[in-house]
Structure 1
Amino acid sequence: MTHRVFHAWDGLNGEIGKQIDAQAPCPISGQHAAIVLCDRDRYGYPLRTVISQTTGLVYADPRADNDAIDDFYRSTYRRFYKSASKPKWKHTARNAFIAGQRVEMIKTLAARGAAVLDIGTGSGELLYVGRRNGFDMQGIEVDQAYAQFGRKCYGVKIINESLRSAFLPEQHFDVVTIFHVLEHLPDPKQALSKIAATLKPGGYVLIEVPNIESLDTRFRQKWHPGHLFHFNCCTLPALASICGLETLSVHTCPRRNVVGATLTKPHTPIETDWKTLVADNFKNTWQLLQGQAKQNWYANWYERLGRARQKLKRNLCEWTISLSEGNRRKLVDKVTRNRAA
């Protein structure tokens, strides 16, 4: 089951493969020309997903208004999709392991004492681990319960607002991290522009989003209703470029499940032609997704089976280490020590 806030489509102009003028323009090109990719979300509920004919960016159209989306993430999202108002112990173990990885990434970009902002910080494990490694950490988390949990449990600084509503000082942070958040935001262009404004010249952005080209996610499973935008290695740098950010590196993993990028705010603004960055991207993405739509359910079954085994093994490890420690801070410390060993 999914949540009705994302189902703003009235059912019209939903024929798959049809060329339409999308209600919302592509945030990269500002153009409305699009083709309908799918008319249902992964749960079977009505959701129109389109691909921009100018850039190849994939997005949900139409979308609910910004206030409705913010309110959903403020009070409902974690309970709706995670069945919890605070992180489960196994999630704390997982978050701690990932936080250790991400702090190592931050260390390659900034020295101790650097001001770091984590957007969509959840329950705050990255802020806690980053602070222990000498960084001046601050987070933004729209969910009220999770923000309160992070403050109380780890003593970290969390702004309990949406990125759209939060006040951020100009040219203040050395590093901004935003992992698996941008795809949920109703205006990613406004979000990256706000990040650029709060970043010091020469500062960095670490970003990660799901990859629309994923080989492990079957076509009908790609359309999570909360994922309003679907990026790839072309569209993410193109969007960053029109927001005043330069892409230093962009990468994905062997099965292309995610897109990660390191961005920077140049000391002197540079002109980047987004059209060059997305040249042929519409054609390539459209063909790839058409091919995936025709695959049978058992396509790539062997890789999916391997992924299921890895997930089971990870869950067992998380539960085992969670049961060994009854204090959240000590659990995070234990996981990060074990990872570093």
Structure 2
Amino acid sequence: MSQRTAEYQQLLEDVPCNICGRNNFKIIYPAQYDLAKTDKIHEGFRSSGDETLIDQMVECNYCGLQYLTPRLRQDIIIEAYSSGSDEGFISQAKGRERTFAKSLKSIEKYVPPSKILDVGTAGGSFLKAAKDRGWNVSGCEPNRWLAEWGKKNYGIDIHSGTIFDMELDHDSFNVVTLWDVLEHVPDPQKVLKECSRVLKDNGLLLINYPDINSLVARMMGKKWVFLLSVHLYYFTPKTITKLLEKCGYEVVKITKHWQTLELDYILFRMKPYIPFIPELFRRFFKLINCGHLLIPYWMGQTLVLARKI
């Protein structure tokens, strides 16, 4: 065992399946602890973090949930998300606002503009899009820098912390959203139950997550762009439905979720998977002044609409 592996393993803890609570699993991908950067752990937990998977990934033999175990301790994860800046993430704010404006149109087919809570709002792009459409918005974000950026640039009061720190009243929101959040949290079941507590009866919950059973994920295998060490859980429509039902929801709809980012940013994020080629294209598109083009893309992102019952 190398010194790097030994140092990293001291930071880990074993966790059971978040749906059924069992510790009976098969290994999908073995750990690669020799690749761990123990001195740069916090850098991997930025919203734009793209550290490839090094932790052991398993699948529960009872309910099929795929997750990481052992993994970094919960206190390390929470502190890592709270610290640091993320200029790369907020550089794509305009594309995210466009994506969220389309998503809000879908939400408004079920609920007119009213009280909405965005959990893990990052820089607040969703809250900005919702406020522009007449919603009464609230949000929380553990990263202090991102929360402050949202306050300054959008004029929105974003709570710096988690949903549990907000001490919200029961039955206080018509809609709660988690955009690219649930796969990151140490205890999804606990978060979903808190969302249910603050939702009004028949209130709506929206979750966006990367589907590990999507065609693109199955085709790319270990090269899938969302196979990251910061993603603690890997859901499918089947497992996300099981988890939601366990937490007091009924699933209304599951569909693909197209997101919009700048062309240059998409090519930049492709570099670890297709060496050299993305950089050549980045230079070319910058030369012809097309790097900032907003491009819709889909790599397995999935949107779930559920109702509190």
Do the two structures share a fold, i.e. TM-score over 0.5?
A: yes
Q: In the aligned structure 2, how far is the partner of 1:41 from the partner of 1:181?
A: 25
Q: In the aligned structure 1, how far is the partner of 2:108 from the partner of 2:88?
A: 32
Residues 24-173 of structure 1 mapped to structure 2, 5 A cutoff: 24-40=15-31, 44-45=35-36, 46-76=54-84, 79=86, 84=87, 87-88=90-91, 91-112=92-113, 114-173=114-173
1:126-155 superposed Cα distances (whole Å, 9 cap, x missing partner):
212211211101111111111111111111
Contact map agreement 1:23 1:61 (CA 8 A) in 2: yes
Q: In the aligned structure 2, how far is the partner of 1:154 from the partner of 1:318?
A: 25
Residues 190-201 of structure 1 mapped to structure 2, 5 A cutoff: 190-201=190-201
**Which structure's CA Rg is the greater one?**
1
Tell me the residue number matched to 1:204: 204
Q: Name the aligned partner's letter for residue 51 of structure 1.
A: E
Contact map agreement 1:86 1:146 (CA 8 A) in 2: no
Q: In the aligned structure 2, how far is the partner of 1:158 from the partner of 1:213?
A: 34
Tell me the residue number matched to 1:339: none
Cα deviation for residue 191 of structure 1 reads 0.6
Q: Which ranges of structure 1 fall in alignment gaps of 5 or more residues?
A: 13-21, 259-300, 322-341
Cα deviation for residue 110 of structure 1 reads 1.5
Structure 1 residues 219 and 174: alpha-carbon distance in aligned structure 2, compared to 1, 3 A threshold = same
Cα deviation for residue 115 of structure 1 reads 0.3
Q: In the aligned structure 2, how far is the partner of 1:230 from the partner of 1:41?
A: 18
Q: TM-score, normalised by structure 1?
A: 0.64
Q: Name the aligned partner's letter for residue 203 of structure 1.
A: G
Structure 1 residues 86 and 201: alpha-carbon distance in aligned structure 2, compared to 1, 3 A threshold = same
Q: TM-score, normalised by structure 2?
A: 0.71
Q: Name the aligned partner's letter for residue 224 of structure 1.
A: L
Structure 1 residues 318 and 179: alpha-carbon distance in aligned structure 2, compared to 1, 3 A threshold = farther
Corresponding pairs, count: 248
Q: In the aligned structure 2, how far is the partner of 1:11 from the partner of 1:135?
A: 42
Q: Name the aligned partner's letter for residue 230 of structure 1.
A: Y
Tell me the residue number matched to 1:226: 230
Q: In the aligned structure 1, how far is the partner of 2:95 from the partner of 2:69?
A: 33
1:281-329 superposed Cα distances (whole Å, 9 cap, x missing partner):
xxxxxxxxxxxxxxxxxxxx9xxx9xx99xx98xx767258xxxxxxxx
Structure 1 residues 164 and 48: alpha-carbon distance in aligned structure 2, compared to 1, 3 A threshold = farther
Q: Percent identity?
A: 26
RMSD: 3.4
Q: In the aligned structure 2, how far is the partner of 1:234 from the partner of 1:52?
A: 13
Cα deviation for residue 28 of structure 1 reads 1.1
Worse-matched range after superposition: 168-177 or 125-134: 125-134
Q: In the aligned structure 2, how far is the partner of 1:33 from the partner of 1:10?
A: 23
Residues 263-302 of structure 1 mapped to structure 2, 5 A cutoff: none
Q: Name the aligned partner's letter for residue 225 of structure 1.
A: S
Contact map agreement 1:212 1:231 (CA 8 A) in 2: yes
Cα deviation for residue 221 of structure 1 reads 2.9
Q: In the aligned structure 1, how far is the partner of 2:103 from the partner of 2:290?
A: 20
Q: In the aligned structure 1, how far is the partner of 2:97 from the partner of 2:246?
A: 34
Q: Which ranges of structure 2 fall in alignment gaps of 5 or more residues?
A: 37-53, 260-273, 295-309
Worse-matched range after superposition: 29-38 or 225-234: 29-38
Which structure is higher in strand share? 2
Structure 1 residues 53 and 161: alpha-carbon distance in aligned structure 2, compared to 1, 3 A threshold = same
